[in-house]
Amino acid sequence: MSRVRRWRPRAAAGALLACVGVAVAGSSAQAEPLPTLGFADREMVIMGGATAGAQGEVWGYRRLPLDIPPLPDPDGKLGFAPVTSKVTPDPQLVFTRVTDATGLWAPEQTPLDAAGNPYRGFEPERRSARITPRAGGLLMGRDGARRGDDRTVVLAREPGGR
């Protein structure tokens, strides 16, 4: 008569954890920066790829640290908004882009307000980020300086535009 072995979930889970523990202990705990990623870091959020855009075109965004000076802006797309509160200053949001041709993440543009001026004070909702096939974009979030229903902000980018 053959004996049927019962599945032992605790034993299996323990064996799995032991294997994972050995794998983690044997690897480096710190992620190393990759030079090919340009200035991408842990704070940058990838929004998505423009499948009908430039080859390998991917967009992201990042809230820049307050000590970053305004970026070189030969095309007029990277203007920084003025800091409105010295007590609780808001970081500047910048949209970044990489393609197969450039191979590096680079700042592409900063958002504009309804009047067409550089905009600051936006807290993005990470899960709302969308890029269309032709590199249009959408990002929702909140503006803490606004009140009531006006706090919700939608940033939209036309393909090929701002």
Asked whether residue 94 carries a pLDDT value surpassing 70, the answer given is: yes
What is the DSSP annotation of 39-87?
A: T--TT-EEEEE-TTSSTT-EEEEEEPPTTPPPPP-TTS--PPPPP--SS
pLDDT digits (tens, 9 = 90+) for 73-88: 989 999 999 988 888 8
pTM of the predicted protein model: 0.73
Confidence of residue 5 (pLDDT cuts 50, 70, 90): very low
Asked whether residue 132 carries a pLDDT value surpassing 60, the answer given is: yes
3-state secondary structure string across 25-50: HHCCCCCCCCHHHCCCCCCCEEEEEC
| 20-24, 107-111, 155-159: segment of lowest average pLDDT | 20-24
Predicted local confidence at residue 17, as pLDDT: 42
Asked whether residue 120 carries a pLDDT value surpassing 80, the answer given is: yes
